[in-house]
Amino acid sequence: MEIRWGSRLRRSIGLAAALVCGASACALPAPAGAASGIDLGFAEPRFNSSDSAVRSEWMNRAVDVGSQWARVGIGWAGIAPSPPVVPTDPGSLEYRWAGADAAVRDAAARGQQILITVSSAPGWAEGPGRDPAAEPGTWRPEPDAVRAFATALAVRYSGEFPDPLNAGATLPRVAAMEAWNEPNLSSFYAPQLAGGKPVSPDSYRQMLNAFYEGVHSVSPSAQVVGGALAPIGSDGGRKGKPRVGPLEFLRELLCLKEKGLKPVACPVKAKFDVLSHHPINANRPPRAKAGADDAGIAEMGTIVKMLRKAESAGNVQPGGRRPVWNTEFWWHSNPPKTGRQIPSLKEQAAYISEALYLNWKDKVELAMLYQVGDDSSRPFQSGVFFEDGSAKQSRTAFQFPLVGDRKSRKKVLIWGRAPVAGTVAIQVKAGKRRFKTVSRRQVAVAEVFKTTTRLKGKGKLRAKLAGQKSLTWKQGKK
Protein backbone atom coordinates (compact mmCIF):
# COMPACT_ATOMS: atom_id res chain seq x y z
CA MET A 1 0.00 0.00 0.00
CA GLU A 2 1.33 3.42 -0.91
CA ILE A 3 1.64 5.98 1.88
CA ARG A 4 0.42 9.47 1.00
CA TRP A 5 2.15 11.66 3.55
CA GLY A 6 1.59 15.39 3.74
CA SER A 7 4.38 17.58 2.35
CA ARG A 8 5.26 18.86 5.83
CA LEU A 9 5.79 15.30 7.08
CA ARG A 10 7.94 14.48 4.05
CA ARG A 11 10.07 17.56 4.78
CA SER A 12 10.39 16.60 8.46
CA ILE A 13 11.54 13.11 7.52
CA GLY A 14 14.12 14.53 5.14
CA LEU A 15 15.35 16.99 7.78
CA ALA A 16 15.53 14.25 10.40
CA ALA A 17 17.55 12.06 8.09
CA ALA A 18 20.02 14.91 7.67
CA LEU A 19 20.23 15.47 11.42
CA VAL A 20 20.24 11.78 12.36
CA CYS A 21 19.77 12.88 15.98
CA GLY A 22 22.32 10.27 17.05
CA ALA A 23 24.90 13.02 16.97
CA SER A 24 25.67 14.58 20.33
CA ALA A 25 24.91 18.03 18.93
CA CYS A 26 21.18 17.25 18.59
CA ALA A 27 19.10 19.05 21.18
CA LEU A 28 16.75 17.32 23.60
CA PRO A 29 13.01 17.77 23.07
CA ALA A 30 11.23 19.90 25.63
CA PRO A 31 10.33 18.04 28.85
CA ALA A 32 6.76 16.97 29.54
CA GLY A 33 5.90 19.19 32.48
CA ALA A 34 7.19 22.15 34.40
CA ALA A 35 10.30 21.34 36.39
CA SER A 36 8.66 22.73 39.55
CA GLY A 37 5.62 20.46 39.28
CA ILE A 38 4.74 16.86 38.55
CA ASP A 39 2.44 15.47 35.87
CA LEU A 40 0.11 12.56 36.66
CA GLY A 41 -1.19 9.70 34.59
CA PHE A 42 -2.27 6.07 34.49
CA ALA A 43 -1.04 2.82 33.06
CA GLU A 44 -4.26 0.84 32.64
CA PRO A 45 -4.55 -2.41 30.64
CA ARG A 46 -8.17 -1.61 29.82
CA PHE A 47 -7.03 1.37 27.76
CA ASN A 48 -6.21 -1.34 25.21
CA SER A 49 -9.53 -3.17 25.48
CA SER A 50 -11.13 -4.29 22.21
CA ASP A 51 -14.45 -3.15 23.73
CA SER A 52 -14.90 0.58 23.09
CA ALA A 53 -17.29 0.89 26.04
CA VAL A 54 -14.68 -0.53 28.41
CA ARG A 55 -11.98 1.78 27.05
CA SER A 56 -14.27 4.79 27.41
CA GLU A 57 -15.36 3.89 30.94
CA TRP A 58 -11.85 3.69 32.37
CA MET A 59 -10.39 6.54 30.33
CA ASN A 60 -13.26 8.77 31.49
CA ARG A 61 -12.58 7.85 35.10
CA ALA A 62 -8.87 8.58 34.63
CA VAL A 63 -9.66 12.04 33.28
CA ASP A 64 -12.15 12.58 36.10
CA VAL A 65 -9.37 12.26 38.68
CA GLY A 66 -6.99 14.60 36.91
CA SER A 67 -4.95 12.32 34.66
CA GLN A 68 -2.78 14.12 32.11
CA TRP A 69 -1.05 11.10 30.57
CA ALA A 70 -2.18 7.69 29.34
CA ARG A 71 0.33 4.85 29.02
CA VAL A 72 -0.71 2.56 26.17
CA GLY A 73 1.14 -0.74 25.87
CA ILE A 74 1.40 -2.32 22.43
CA GLY A 75 2.76 -5.72 21.49
CA TRP A 76 4.96 -5.59 18.43
CA ALA A 77 4.26 -9.28 17.76
CA GLY A 78 0.53 -8.60 17.55
CA ILE A 79 0.98 -5.67 15.18
CA ALA A 80 3.47 -7.45 12.91
CA PRO A 81 2.95 -11.22 13.20
CA SER A 82 4.68 -11.64 9.82
CA PRO A 83 7.48 -9.53 8.31
CA PRO A 84 6.11 -6.49 6.46
CA VAL A 85 7.25 -6.13 2.88
CA VAL A 86 8.24 -2.53 3.67
CA PRO A 87 8.77 -2.51 7.47
CA THR A 88 9.23 1.27 7.69
CA ASP A 89 5.84 1.82 5.99
CA PRO A 90 2.99 1.72 8.56
CA GLY A 91 0.59 1.26 5.66
CA SER A 92 2.07 -2.13 4.73
CA LEU A 93 -0.71 -4.72 4.54
CA GLU A 94 1.05 -7.01 7.04
CA TYR A 95 0.68 -4.48 9.86
CA ARG A 96 -2.33 -4.72 12.17
CA TRP A 97 -2.73 -1.35 13.91
CA ALA A 98 -6.45 -1.32 14.70
CA GLY A 99 -6.13 -1.93 18.45
CA ALA A 100 -3.36 0.62 18.94
CA ASP A 101 -5.20 3.17 16.78
CA ALA A 102 -8.35 2.83 18.89
CA ALA A 103 -6.50 3.38 22.18
CA VAL A 104 -4.58 6.37 20.80
CA ARG A 105 -7.76 7.95 19.35
CA ASP A 106 -9.66 7.57 22.60
CA ALA A 107 -6.86 8.93 24.79
CA ALA A 108 -6.23 11.91 22.52
CA ALA A 109 -9.96 12.69 22.37
CA ARG A 110 -9.85 13.12 26.15
CA GLY A 111 -6.91 15.50 26.07
CA GLN A 112 -4.38 12.96 27.30
CA GLN A 113 -0.71 13.07 26.41
CA ILE A 114 0.15 9.56 25.23
CA LEU A 115 3.06 7.32 26.12
CA ILE A 116 3.26 4.23 23.93
CA THR A 117 5.27 1.37 25.42
CA VAL A 118 6.50 -1.20 22.89
CA SER A 119 7.38 -4.75 23.93
CA SER A 120 7.09 -8.38 22.78
CA ALA A 121 9.02 -8.87 19.54
CA PRO A 122 7.60 -11.10 16.81
CA GLY A 123 9.51 -14.35 16.40
CA TRP A 124 10.88 -13.27 13.02
CA ALA A 125 12.54 -10.21 14.68
CA GLU A 126 14.26 -12.08 17.52
CA GLY A 127 18.04 -12.56 17.45
CA PRO A 128 20.04 -15.72 16.77
CA GLY A 129 20.93 -18.39 19.32
CA ARG A 130 17.53 -18.38 20.94
CA ASP A 131 17.16 -20.33 24.18
CA PRO A 132 14.08 -22.56 23.74
CA ALA A 133 13.16 -21.81 27.36
CA ALA A 134 12.98 -18.05 26.77
CA GLU A 135 9.56 -16.41 26.89
CA PRO A 136 8.06 -15.61 23.45
CA GLY A 137 9.03 -12.17 22.20
CA THR A 138 11.92 -11.64 24.59
CA TRP A 139 15.04 -12.89 22.83
CA ARG A 140 17.45 -10.12 21.73
CA PRO A 141 15.27 -8.21 19.27
CA GLU A 142 17.29 -7.47 16.14
CA PRO A 143 18.35 -3.78 16.10
CA ASP A 144 17.65 -3.38 12.37
CA ALA A 145 14.13 -4.74 12.79
CA VAL A 146 13.60 -2.52 15.86
CA ARG A 147 14.77 0.55 13.94
CA ALA A 148 12.41 -0.16 11.06
CA PHE A 149 9.41 -0.76 13.34
CA ALA A 150 10.16 2.39 15.36
CA THR A 151 10.21 4.34 12.10
CA ALA A 152 6.81 2.96 11.11
CA LEU A 153 5.46 3.69 14.61
CA ALA A 154 6.68 7.29 14.49
CA VAL A 155 5.21 7.85 11.03
CA ARG A 156 1.82 6.45 12.01
CA TYR A 157 1.58 8.58 15.16
CA SER A 158 3.27 11.70 13.82
CA GLY A 159 -0.04 13.56 13.76
CA GLU A 160 -0.02 13.60 9.95
CA PHE A 161 -0.80 10.01 9.00
CA PRO A 162 -4.27 9.51 7.48
CA ASP A 163 -6.79 7.93 9.83
CA PRO A 164 -8.09 4.81 8.04
CA LEU A 165 -11.48 5.10 9.77
CA ASN A 166 -12.08 8.82 9.32
CA ALA A 167 -11.75 10.27 5.84
CA GLY A 168 -9.89 13.56 5.75
CA ALA A 169 -8.66 13.17 9.35
CA THR A 170 -5.27 12.12 10.67
CA LEU A 171 -4.37 9.85 13.55
CA PRO A 172 -3.37 11.72 16.72
CA ARG A 173 0.23 12.57 17.50
CA VAL A 174 1.90 10.51 20.23
CA ALA A 175 4.15 12.58 22.48
CA ALA A 176 6.42 9.83 23.80
CA MET A 177 7.45 6.29 22.89
CA GLU A 178 9.00 3.89 25.40
CA ALA A 179 11.37 1.16 24.26
CA TRP A 180 10.31 -1.97 26.07
CA ASN A 181 8.85 -2.84 29.45
CA GLU A 182 11.09 -3.95 32.35
CA PRO A 183 14.08 -5.13 30.30
CA ASN A 184 15.87 -6.25 33.48
CA LEU A 185 13.45 -9.20 33.82
CA SER A 186 13.68 -12.34 31.70
CA SER A 187 9.89 -12.34 31.53
CA PHE A 188 10.25 -9.41 29.13
CA TYR A 189 13.84 -9.48 27.86
CA ALA A 190 16.36 -12.29 27.44
CA PRO A 191 19.02 -13.34 28.03
CA GLN A 192 19.69 -11.53 31.31
CA LEU A 193 22.88 -13.29 32.38
CA ALA A 194 25.79 -15.17 30.84
CA GLY A 195 28.28 -16.87 33.10
CA GLY A 196 26.58 -15.18 36.04
CA LYS A 197 27.26 -11.69 34.63
CA PRO A 198 24.65 -9.27 33.25
CA VAL A 199 24.41 -9.16 29.47
CA SER A 200 20.96 -7.59 29.15
CA PRO A 201 22.10 -3.96 29.66
CA ASP A 202 24.46 -4.05 26.68
CA SER A 203 21.96 -5.84 24.46
CA TYR A 204 19.17 -3.48 25.52
CA ARG A 205 21.39 -0.46 24.77
CA GLN A 206 21.70 -1.62 21.17
CA MET A 207 17.95 -2.07 20.89
CA LEU A 208 17.23 1.28 22.59
CA ASN A 209 19.60 3.12 20.25
CA ALA A 210 18.00 1.54 17.20
CA PHE A 211 14.55 2.51 18.50
CA TYR A 212 15.75 6.07 19.13
CA GLU A 213 17.19 6.38 15.63
CA GLY A 214 14.00 5.06 14.05
CA VAL A 215 11.69 7.42 15.94
CA HIS A 216 13.89 10.49 15.46
CA SER A 217 14.38 9.84 11.76
CA VAL A 218 10.71 10.83 11.49
CA SER A 219 9.86 12.95 14.56
CA PRO A 220 12.83 14.83 16.04
CA SER A 221 10.54 16.37 18.67
CA ALA A 222 9.11 13.07 19.92
CA GLN A 223 10.44 11.83 23.26
CA VAL A 224 12.09 8.42 23.28
CA VAL A 225 11.87 6.88 26.73
CA GLY A 226 14.42 4.34 27.93
CA GLY A 227 14.61 2.26 31.09
CA ALA A 228 11.17 1.26 32.40
CA LEU A 229 13.01 -1.05 34.79
CA ALA A 230 11.38 -3.39 37.29
CA PRO A 231 12.19 -2.48 40.92
CA ILE A 232 13.39 -5.91 42.09
CA GLY A 233 16.19 -7.95 40.60
CA SER A 234 19.03 -8.16 43.09
CA ASP A 235 18.61 -11.91 43.66
CA GLY A 236 19.79 -12.48 40.08
CA GLY A 237 16.93 -14.87 39.46
CA ARG A 238 17.39 -17.35 42.25
CA LYS A 239 13.66 -17.96 42.01
CA GLY A 240 14.16 -19.47 38.58
CA LYS A 241 13.69 -16.44 36.31
CA PRO A 242 16.97 -14.60 35.72
CA ARG A 243 16.93 -10.87 36.30
CA VAL A 244 19.23 -7.96 37.05
CA GLY A 245 18.84 -5.36 39.80
CA PRO A 246 17.73 -2.02 38.33
CA LEU A 247 20.64 -0.04 39.78
CA GLU A 248 23.17 -2.56 38.46
CA PHE A 249 21.40 -2.51 35.09
CA LEU A 250 21.58 1.29 34.98
CA ARG A 251 25.26 1.37 35.93
CA GLU A 252 26.00 -0.93 33.00
CA LEU A 253 23.70 0.97 30.63
CA LEU A 254 25.14 4.37 31.59
CA CYS A 255 28.77 3.20 31.95
CA LEU A 256 29.20 3.98 35.64
CA LYS A 257 31.48 1.95 37.90
CA GLU A 258 30.03 0.30 40.99
CA LYS A 259 28.55 2.22 43.93
CA GLY A 260 30.90 5.20 43.55
CA LEU A 261 29.34 5.88 40.13
CA LYS A 262 32.69 6.74 38.56
CA PRO A 263 32.20 7.20 34.80
CA VAL A 264 34.06 4.73 32.60
CA ALA A 265 34.59 4.58 28.86
CA CYS A 266 31.39 3.70 27.01
CA PRO A 267 31.90 1.47 23.96
CA VAL A 268 28.51 2.65 22.71
CA LYS A 269 26.60 5.51 24.30
CA ALA A 270 22.92 5.09 25.10
CA LYS A 271 20.50 7.34 23.23
CA PHE A 272 17.25 8.46 24.85
CA ASP A 273 15.33 11.62 25.77
CA VAL A 274 13.74 10.47 29.03
CA LEU A 275 14.80 7.88 31.62
CA SER A 276 11.95 5.95 33.22
CA HIS A 277 11.67 3.55 36.14
CA HIS A 278 8.99 1.51 37.92
CA PRO A 279 9.51 2.26 41.64
CA ILE A 280 6.99 -0.29 42.89
CA ASN A 281 7.01 -0.80 46.65
CA ALA A 282 4.37 -3.55 46.58
CA ASN A 283 3.18 -3.82 50.20
CA ARG A 284 5.77 -1.56 51.84
CA PRO A 285 5.47 2.17 52.62
CA PRO A 286 6.98 4.69 50.18
CA ARG A 287 9.97 5.52 52.39
CA ALA A 288 10.96 1.86 52.86
CA LYS A 289 14.46 1.23 51.56
CA ALA A 290 14.97 -1.36 48.84
CA GLY A 291 17.73 -3.93 49.20
CA ALA A 292 21.03 -4.17 47.37
CA ASP A 293 20.62 -2.95 43.77
CA ASP A 294 16.83 -2.73 43.90
CA ALA A 295 14.99 0.58 43.60
CA GLY A 296 11.59 1.65 44.89
CA ILE A 297 10.14 5.09 45.60
CA ALA A 298 12.90 5.88 48.11
CA GLU A 299 15.62 5.22 45.51
CA MET A 300 14.32 7.52 42.77
CA GLY A 301 16.74 10.20 43.93
CA THR A 302 19.59 7.72 43.39
CA ILE A 303 18.41 7.08 39.84
CA VAL A 304 18.30 10.82 39.13
CA LYS A 305 21.84 11.14 40.52
CA MET A 306 23.08 8.29 38.31
CA LEU A 307 21.63 9.91 35.23
CA ARG A 308 23.20 13.29 36.05
CA LYS A 309 26.59 11.62 36.50
CA ALA A 310 26.30 9.93 33.11
CA GLU A 311 25.15 13.14 31.43
CA SER A 312 28.05 15.12 32.92
CA ALA A 313 30.49 12.48 31.67
CA GLY A 314 28.97 12.52 28.17
CA ASN A 315 27.94 8.87 28.48
CA VAL A 316 24.48 9.44 27.02
CA GLN A 317 23.27 11.12 23.85
CA PRO A 318 22.13 13.71 23.00
CA GLY A 319 23.89 16.14 25.33
CA GLY A 320 22.06 18.05 28.04
CA ARG A 321 19.74 17.14 30.89
CA ARG A 322 16.70 14.96 30.42
CA PRO A 323 13.68 14.22 32.63
CA VAL A 324 13.19 11.17 34.83
CA TRP A 325 9.72 9.61 34.82
CA ASN A 326 7.97 7.08 37.01
CA THR A 327 5.95 5.15 34.43
CA GLU A 328 4.46 2.58 36.82
CA PHE A 329 3.87 2.41 40.56
CA TRP A 330 1.12 0.83 42.61
CA TRP A 331 -0.15 -0.61 45.88
CA HIS A 332 -2.86 -3.21 46.33
CA SER A 333 -5.66 -2.34 48.72
CA ASN A 334 -7.46 -4.43 51.29
CA PRO A 335 -10.26 -4.84 50.27
CA PRO A 336 -10.54 -6.24 47.64
CA LYS A 337 -7.25 -8.14 48.00
CA THR A 338 -6.53 -9.81 51.32
CA GLY A 339 -3.36 -11.28 52.71
CA ARG A 340 -0.30 -10.52 54.74
CA GLN A 341 0.76 -6.86 54.90
CA ILE A 342 -1.54 -5.67 52.11
CA PRO A 343 -2.30 -1.99 52.81
CA SER A 344 -5.73 -0.97 54.05
CA LEU A 345 -7.75 1.53 52.02
CA LYS A 346 -6.43 4.34 54.24
CA GLU A 347 -2.86 3.13 53.90
CA GLN A 348 -3.08 2.80 50.12
CA ALA A 349 -4.34 6.38 49.91
CA ALA A 350 -1.63 7.73 52.21
CA TYR A 351 1.09 5.79 50.34
CA ILE A 352 0.01 7.22 46.97
CA SER A 353 0.02 10.81 48.28
CA GLU A 354 3.43 10.36 49.88
CA ALA A 355 4.87 8.70 46.77
CA LEU A 356 3.82 11.71 44.68
CA TYR A 357 5.46 14.05 47.17
CA LEU A 358 8.69 12.04 47.27
CA ASN A 359 8.79 11.83 43.47
CA TRP A 360 8.33 15.60 43.24
CA LYS A 361 11.04 16.12 45.86
CA ASP A 362 13.42 13.98 43.76
CA LYS A 363 12.54 16.07 40.66
CA VAL A 364 10.66 13.27 38.92
CA GLU A 365 8.45 15.02 36.35
CA LEU A 366 5.78 12.38 35.68
CA ALA A 367 4.22 9.68 37.89
CA MET A 368 1.87 7.06 36.43
CA LEU A 369 -0.24 4.87 38.69
CA TYR A 370 -0.89 1.31 37.55
CA GLN A 371 -4.63 0.81 37.14
CA VAL A 372 -7.45 3.27 37.29
CA GLY A 373 -9.68 0.60 38.80
CA ASP A 374 -9.47 -2.90 40.22
CA ASP A 375 -9.89 -5.82 37.85
CA SER A 376 -10.65 -9.28 39.22
CA SER A 377 -9.45 -10.86 35.98
CA ARG A 378 -5.90 -9.75 36.80
CA PRO A 379 -3.61 -10.27 39.80
CA PHE A 380 -3.42 -6.54 40.52
CA GLN A 381 -6.06 -4.80 42.61
CA SER A 382 -4.36 -1.42 42.74
CA GLY A 383 -6.91 1.02 41.34
CA VAL A 384 -8.28 4.21 42.84
CA PHE A 385 -11.74 2.80 42.04
CA PHE A 386 -13.23 -0.56 42.92
CA GLU A 387 -14.18 -2.75 39.98
CA ASP A 388 -17.80 -1.58 40.13
CA GLY A 389 -16.66 2.04 39.66
CA SER A 390 -17.15 3.21 43.24
CA ALA A 391 -14.31 5.33 44.55
CA LYS A 392 -11.68 4.40 47.10
CA GLN A 393 -10.03 6.94 49.39
CA SER A 394 -7.06 6.74 47.04
CA ARG A 395 -9.13 8.55 44.40
CA THR A 396 -8.90 11.72 46.47
CA ALA A 397 -5.29 10.98 47.37
CA PHE A 398 -4.31 10.87 43.70
CA GLN A 399 -6.40 13.85 42.61
CA PHE A 400 -5.74 16.12 45.61
CA PRO A 401 -2.66 14.80 47.44
CA LEU A 402 -1.58 16.42 50.69
CA VAL A 403 1.42 15.37 52.79
CA GLY A 404 3.18 16.62 55.90
CA ASP A 405 6.96 16.27 56.15
CA ARG A 406 8.49 17.13 59.51
CA LYS A 407 11.55 19.31 59.12
CA SER A 408 12.32 19.89 62.81
CA ARG A 409 10.84 19.31 66.24
CA LYS A 410 8.65 22.38 65.78
CA LYS A 411 8.19 22.76 62.02
CA VAL A 412 6.37 20.77 59.34
CA LEU A 413 6.38 21.27 55.57
CA ILE A 414 2.89 20.85 54.13
CA TRP A 415 2.88 19.89 50.44
CA GLY A 416 0.00 19.41 48.05
CA ARG A 417 -1.09 19.51 44.41
CA ALA A 418 -4.18 21.38 43.25
CA PRO A 419 -6.94 19.45 41.41
CA VAL A 420 -8.49 22.71 40.12
CA ALA A 421 -7.68 26.40 40.02
CA GLY A 422 -8.74 28.66 42.87
CA THR A 423 -7.80 29.70 46.39
CA VAL A 424 -6.41 26.85 48.45
CA ALA A 425 -6.70 26.97 52.22
CA ILE A 426 -4.13 24.89 54.12
CA GLN A 427 -5.35 23.92 57.57
CA VAL A 428 -3.77 22.45 60.72
CA LYS A 429 -5.31 20.90 63.81
CA ALA A 430 -3.15 20.53 66.91
CA GLY A 431 -4.45 18.48 69.84
CA LYS A 432 -8.14 19.02 70.56
CA ARG A 433 -8.30 22.38 68.84
CA ARG A 434 -10.30 23.02 65.68
CA PHE A 435 -8.70 23.14 62.26
CA LYS A 436 -7.02 26.51 61.72
CA THR A 437 -6.12 27.97 58.34
CA VAL A 438 -2.38 28.67 58.28
CA SER A 439 -2.05 29.67 54.62
CA ARG A 440 -4.15 30.81 51.68
CA ARG A 441 -2.93 31.23 48.13
CA GLN A 442 -4.07 31.27 44.54
CA VAL A 443 -3.21 28.14 42.57
CA ALA A 444 -3.58 26.97 39.00
CA VAL A 445 -4.86 23.51 38.12
CA ALA A 446 -2.15 20.87 38.76
CA GLU A 447 0.05 23.41 40.55
CA VAL A 448 2.14 22.23 43.49
CA PHE A 449 1.64 24.31 46.63
CA LYS A 450 3.52 24.18 49.92
CA THR A 451 4.02 26.01 53.16
CA THR A 452 5.97 25.51 56.38
CA THR A 453 4.07 25.79 59.65
CA ARG A 454 4.78 25.47 63.34
CA LEU A 455 3.56 22.17 64.75
CA LYS A 456 5.12 20.55 67.77
CA GLY A 457 4.12 16.93 68.29
CA LYS A 458 1.22 15.21 66.58
CA GLY A 459 -1.42 16.95 64.52
CA LYS A 460 -3.72 16.76 61.52
CA LEU A 461 -3.35 18.52 58.18
CA ARG A 462 -5.73 19.11 55.29
CA ALA A 463 -6.48 21.47 52.43
CA LYS A 464 -9.67 22.89 50.93
CA LEU A 465 -10.09 24.22 47.40
CA ALA A 466 -13.18 25.17 45.40
CA GLY A 467 -15.49 22.93 47.39
CA GLN A 468 -13.06 20.00 47.38
CA LYS A 469 -11.22 18.71 50.41
CA SER A 470 -8.05 16.62 50.60
CA LEU A 471 -7.83 13.61 52.85
CA THR A 472 -6.63 14.39 56.36
CA TRP A 473 -2.93 13.72 56.86
CA LYS A 474 -2.01 12.52 60.34
CA GLN A 475 1.30 14.12 61.27
CA GLY A 476 3.49 12.31 63.77
CA LYS A 477 6.09 13.62 66.19
CA LYS A 478 8.96 12.51 63.95
Q: What angle do CA 477, 419, 469 make, to 5 degrees?
A: 55
Q: What are the tens digits of pLDDT across the range 335-380?
A: 999 988 999 999 999 999 999 999 999 999 999 999 999 999 999 9
- Which amino acid belongs to residue 53? A
Residue 277 has pLDDT above 50, yes or no: yes
What number does CATH give the domain 402-478? 2.60.40.380
Beta strands in 2-112 (DSSP E): 39-43, 69-75
Rounded to the nearest integer, the mean pLDDT of the chain is: 91
Read off the pLDDT of residues 47-70 as tens digits, 9 standing for 90 and up: 999 999 999 999 999 999 999 999
Contact by Cβ (8 Å): 452, 407: yes
Query: For the chain, what percent of residues have pLDDT higher than 90?
Result: 86
Count CA atoms closer than 13 A to 399's CA, side-chain side.
Answer: 25
Give the pLDDT score at 13: 34
3-state secondary structure of 162: strand
Inter-residue contact 461 to 452 (CB < 8 Å): no
CA 286 – CA 352 distance, rounded (Å): 8
Domain 7-399: CATH architecture, name and number where available: Alpha-Beta Barrel (3.20)
**pTM for the structure as a whole:** 0.92
- As a residue count, the chain comes to 478
Give residue-wise pLDDT tens across range 411-455: 999 999 999 999 999 999 998 889 999 999 999 999 999 999 999
Q: Where are the domains of the chain?
A: 7-399, 402-478
- Provide the β-strand partners of residue 110: none
> Mean pLDDT over residues 134-151, rounded?
98
